[in-house]
Structure 1
Amino acid sequence: MSVLKILRWPDPVLQQVCTPVCDVAAVDALIGDMFDTMYAAPGRGLAAPQVGKLLRLFVMDVGWKEGTRTPMVCINPEVVDACETVVTREEGCLSIPGVMADVTRPDAVTLAYTDAAGRQRETRLTGFAAACAQHELDHLDGIVTFDRVDADQRAALEAAYGMPA
């Protein structure tokens, strides 16, 4: 496996909607490389477009930094249910390093996806895991953290990131 280059905002790939994965076996090596890249970054989630692949695929591991690896592969994911309770959490992004933004999202979601073995799954995620999955799913739809905040906060975050006003 290998560590891949992570694209940085405003790379146009990060603004594109990804296509579904048709052959799970064909992305096996990519999945391994994405985990290597995510752990090396070090991050908790990584979506395929962040490494230049316009595929509906992300990996995440919300527990590894606390010592418990909980790797999850989500191919062609979709939120099939979201709770009404929303929370605001500070989010970072490997494609926008050094920028932390307050993003409001449902506190729990049910995610339907295909795992790395090609099995259909449905998992209820809560708290930080729900936020992480929603953040990575956003990448598959060409949405980044800047798109989830109001205009004033976006302008401040882009300025902090070094983008011209």
Structure 2
Amino acid sequence: MAWSFGRRRSRPVTYLLGEPADPYPAQTPEAQRGRVLRITEIGEPVLHTPARTVERFSTPELARLVDDMFATMEVAEGVGLAAPQVGVDLRVFVYDLTDDHGDRHVGHVVNPVLEVDDDAVPETEEEGCLSVPGAYVPLARPGGATVRGVDQHGGPVQLTATGFLARCFVHEAQHLDGTLYWDHLSPELRADALRQRDEERADVLAGRRELAIELEKTPADYPERPAGGR
């Protein structure tokens, strides 16, 4: 996955909300400040209901949410996370991923509006979701996408992406409409995803706990069985 920023640079670049931001710390400032929250799991109502539009900006509550989402995503070793995945029904997502060229893309988007590039060739890759821990299945996604929204202070955001980053934007924006990657799967792939989840969940959650402790964070508590009941 790559963004179109002209000629390739000789070394990887970090893009913060689409703008070069070198140097940039390995751990985002938000993750340093944030708390680790429990990630909701498939079947929980907040994941399957459209999220509410954010109407107030530059608030301590919104800043804390963004910080906590970055910290939670880091501990879960994810590349994107939507607010419903931490139990909050607001239209916010965060992302932190490295593309195929080694460039890093970091940011958050509030009230995103997704536009897929219908002219881009769809790409089929293994895809997972932090709300279905341990499960990865092949899924076709648009090869390009644009997200328009604002940051937590109400400043305009417009991000255009291809490849892996586009996949991330589509995945997270759809979360805010109550749609999971699960909803795009055939019955056979759903069964396979649940089988993987059942086999891998305990190890995945143990890994999240260990990484939280390593980062001197309080780990989130998870029930023995998925809270969503599936």
TM-score, length-normalised on structure 1?
0.89
**Taking structure 1 as reference, are residues 63 and 160 closer, same or farther at Cα in structure 2, changes over 3 Å only?**
closer
Q: Deviations over 1:70-98 (max 9, x none)?
A: 32111111123423321111111111001
Aligned pairs (5 A) from 1:114-153: 114-153=150-189
Are residues 119 and 39 of structure 1, via their aligned partners in 2, closer, same or farther at CA, if it must alter by over 3 Å? same
1:1-59: CA deviations, max 9, x gaps? 21111111221211111011111223111101110111111111000000000001000
- Residue 77 (structure 1) aligns with: 112
Report if aligned partners of 2:116, 2:142 keep a CA contact under 8 Å in 1. no
1:24 aligns with 2:84: no
Match of 2:72 in 1: 37
The equivalent of 1:96 in structure 2 is 132
* Length, aligned pairs only: 164
Aligned counterparts of 1:47 and 1:31: Cα–Cα separation in 2: 10
Does residue 15 (structure 1) correspond to residue 24 (structure 2)? The answer is no
Give the match's secondary structure for 2:58.
helix
Question: SS at 1:157's partner residue?
Answer: helix
* Residues 93 and 99, structure 1, Cα contact 8 Å, conserved in 2: yes
Q: Cα RMSD (Å) of the superposition?
A: 2.2
Gaps of 5+ in 2: 1-33, 199-225
Aligned partner of 1:82: which letter?
Answer: D
**Radius of gyration: which is bigger?**
2
Aligned equivalent of 2:122: 86
Counterpart-to-counterpart distance in 2, 1:117 and 1:69? 23
Q: Structure 2: how far apart are the matches of 1:150 and 1:49?
A: 24
1:157 offset after TM fit, Å?
A: 2.0
**Quick one: structure 1 residues 70 and 4, their matched pair in 2 at CA, closer, same or farther if it must change by over 3 Å?**
same
Sequence identity, in percent? 37
- Say whether the 8 Å CA contact 2:134–2:197 is kept in structure 1: yes
Tell me whether 1:52 sits opposite 2:49 in the alignment.
Answer: no
Runs of 4+ in structure 1 deviating by more than 4 angstroms, as ranges, are 66-69
CA distance in 2 between counterparts of 1:148 and 1:49 reads: 18
Paired letter, 1:146: W
Where does structure 1 lack aligned partners over 5 or more consecutive residues? Answer: none
- What amino acid sits opposite 2:114 in the alignment? V
